[in-house]
Every structure is written in structure tokens, then in C-alpha cells.
Structure 1
Amino acid sequence: MLIVIEKVFTQEEVNLFRQHLDVGQWQDGKLTAGSQAIQAKTNLQLDDHCQSVQALGHEILKRLGQNSKFITAALADKIYPPKFNKYQNGGQYGTHVDSAVMTIPGSNELIRTDLSATLFFSRPEEYEGGVLTIETDFGAQEVKLNAGDLVLYPSSSLHQVTPVTSGQRVSAFFWIQSMIRDHNLRAMLYDLDQTIQSLTAKLGADAPEVLKLSSVYHNLLRNKAL
């Protein structure tokens, strides 16, 4: 299941983020790459230990914690703190799959990567190439979103970022351990929630149909959540 969440941040808010990101201390992305990724990864990343980077990441998580679509799509249990990358001058990330388990920085806490997220901070017209291509059951899906938009997709998917031939592609990326480990079940719960939201808008929150479906949703979640 690939889900796009539009306008996590407004253009004005994106501009404020970019003011901080554009003056950041960018370093070779290979410094944080594993043995497999180091062969495929050509980009820049900000130092995760920088206080300003951590503050920007905190703002992202704070905003997503208020976004109903993200909440119901991810059903997050743990979130790896957002990181920031930049692609330019032919930079790319060849086809790869994200590590299944990661250690949350500054702790010994492990996170299982169920979902990957990319939050775009460059407008599509600012750069050529830089398409996030994700392999799905329905073929390869190409993603190049507006600044401030986010895409969620299974971390088990093979994916790549095509070469950026001009301009700069700046984004945040992070991983989520969901309360619902199974992708198919999580997708069904998301569809059920969206149906409840639609019926609530048409019939009202007290309608018998809405109350019954809400009961089914929460009991399924209660039964299947970690």
C-alpha cells in the first residue's frame, strides 16, 4: 500500500525549513550507508547529531502526530527520528531494500521497519530526475511530489531514487514500526477507517451504521495490535 499525504506542511512552512536546511552542514551519505547501500548511494545527508537537525525532525513528528491520515495509515508504535538528504549533480540511490531492523540513535532500542516515509522539501520544478520509484504488486510506481507532501510505503519494497541531472532534491526520510505488522491487514484497517470517516460525514457520528463499523474497527485493532 502506497499512500500520499498532501500538504503536511504549507509552502510557507517549507520555505522556513529550507532556510535551515540550505545552510546545514551536508556530508557524504555513504558515511551512514551499510555494506550493500554504499555501492548504490550517491547523495548528501545532514549530521543526525546536529541540534538544529533534531529540532526540525521533532517538528515533523509533531505535525504528523496531528495528521489523521498519517495516524490511521501508519498506526505507529515507534518512529525512527527523521533524517535529511540532498541529491544533486547526478546523485542517486540505486535499487535497494531498507534494513529490516534499526537501532534508534542515542539508545539501545530497536525498531522494526514496517513503513518507509519520504517528505519532500523541493518543488518538482526545482530539479530534473530524482524520481522515487517503488516496486509494488501492481508494478513500479513513480513518486515525485509537491514540497510539503509525504509518501508512505512498505519498507520491504525494492525502491530507488533516479539520478538528479539538474537542481537539488531535498527531503526528509524516516521509518515506522507499526502496531500492525502485516501490510495487508494494515491496508484493510486503513480502508475501513476511511469508509467510517466518509459515512460519518454523510450520516453523522451517532448513526447506527457508523457506530457498528467503528466498533468493528476498534475491536479488530485491539485484537491485532502489538
Structure 2
Amino acid sequence: MINHPNWLLYEGFLSDEDCERWIDLGRQAPIQEAKTFGGHDTHRKTDIRWLSNEGVYQEMHDVFKHIALDANQYFQTTITRLPPLQFTEYSDVGHKYDMHHDVDYNRQDGLHRKLSIVVQLSDPEDYEGGVLTFAHTQNPEPSALIKRGSIICFLSYLEHGVSPITKGDRTSLVGWFEGPRWR
């Protein structure tokens, strides 16, 4: 594990076989339109699928919970739940996600996203571009971040984005642990 005050990186946490299996499972769910809670849909061009926390997807949720328990000891946030995971494909040239944070400060249910977790499912040889970066903090070493099976966990209020795909297909699995509103 590589730790930084704002993120934790678990390099090569999943095997190639796990990544392939998760991609196959993720692609079985129906594609949905990718939207942002800010309504700026031009900032995001991806294909997404939502994966429930039961059945064939339970193993994925269990891995996310394991990472979150470890990361939460480091970040000391209060997390209470993990909604469905987002299977994300950047599959066309130009697919991207501009700089943003993952917290919807206008939510009315008293919850905010606290920890964001991204699993790198693609082999880095399968695409170009599509690099996850942070705006106001040191970025992880790109070779470690894009290594297949790597998992990064960061505080959801950190501004981050994914650069445009220039070739190939980048696939990831994203989850957000929620908890009481940030203060």
C-alpha cells in the first residue's frame, strides 16, 4: 500500500483473472446514461452500469468494504453505507470526466459521500489517455495507478478527473461510502 495524506493506493490488489471476471459481470448489467449531480453532462462522457450489492456482485462489494475499513482507519471519517457500485467504461475516443468532486452538498437526506474508491480493471496496454488525476494534491505514480487490479481510495471532496481516452477502452469500478454530512 502507498499512502498519502489524501489517498491510499493498493497496487495490483486484484488478480488479472479477478479483473476479467468483474468486467464480464459488469457488462451483464444494462447501460445507463451517465449524469452528474451538478447537471453538467458535457463534463462527462462515459458508459455506466449500476451493480447492486447482492447476488453475483456481492464479492465486489465485499472487496470495497475491506478497502473502506482499512482506509477509514487512516482517514478517520464516519461511514455508514455503500450504495450500488458504478461499472464505468471509457470506450470511445474523447470519453472523459472533467475535474469534479464526488460530494453532492445539496443532498437533503443528511448523507454525503465520504470515501471514493476506484478499481482499475483494464490492462494499461488496452488503452491510451484516461488517466485519473487530482487537481490540488500530489498525484500517485501513473504506472502504479494504471496497473491492472490497483485500487485507489480517497476523500470524496478531493477534486479529480479522468483525461480523454485517445485509444482503446478503459474500464473501472467505482464506489462511494457515505456517512453523515461533512462539517
State TM-score, norm by structure 2.
0.75
CA distance in 2, matches of 1:154, 1:91: 24
Q: Which residue of 2 aligns with 1:86?
A: 89
Task: Tell me which of 91, 99, 103 is aligned to 2:103.
Answer: 99
User: What fraction of aligned residue pairs are identical, expressed as a percent?
Assistant: 20
Answer with 1 or 2: which has the greater Rg. Answer: 1
Letter in 1 for 2:135: E
Aligned pair 1:124/2:124, yes or no? yes
User: What residue in structure 2 maps to residue 113 of structure 1?
Assistant: 113
Q: Report 1 or 2 for greater relative contact order, CA contacts < 8 Å, sequence distance ≥ 6.
A: 2
Q: What does 1:166-205 correspond to in 2, within 5 Å?
A: 166-177=167-178
Offset of 1:71 from its aligned partner?
5.6
Q: In 1, Cα distance between the equivalents of 2:106 and 2:84?
A: 11
Residues 126-163 of structure 1, C-alpha deviations (whole Å, 9 max, x = no match): 1100000112344x556542222110112111111000
Aligned equivalents of 2:101 and 2:159: distance in 1?
A: 5
1:168 positional shift: 0.6
Question: Runs of 4+ in structure 1 displaced over 6 angstroms?
Answer: none
Counterparts of 1:150 and 1:81, CA distance in 2: 17
Considering fraction of residues, name the structure with more helix. Answer: 1
- Structure 1 residue matching 2:146: 3-state secondary structure: coil
Amino acid at match of 1:34: F
Q: Distance in 2 between matches of 1:164 and 1:92?
A: 6
Give the Cα separation in 2 of the matches to 1:141 and 1:9. 18
Any unmatched runs of 5+ in structure 2?
1-5
Deviation (angstroms), 1:61: 1.9
What is aligned with 2:17? 12
Q: Report if the CA contact (8 A) 2:111-2:179 is conserved.
A: no
**Cross-structure match for 1:158:** 159
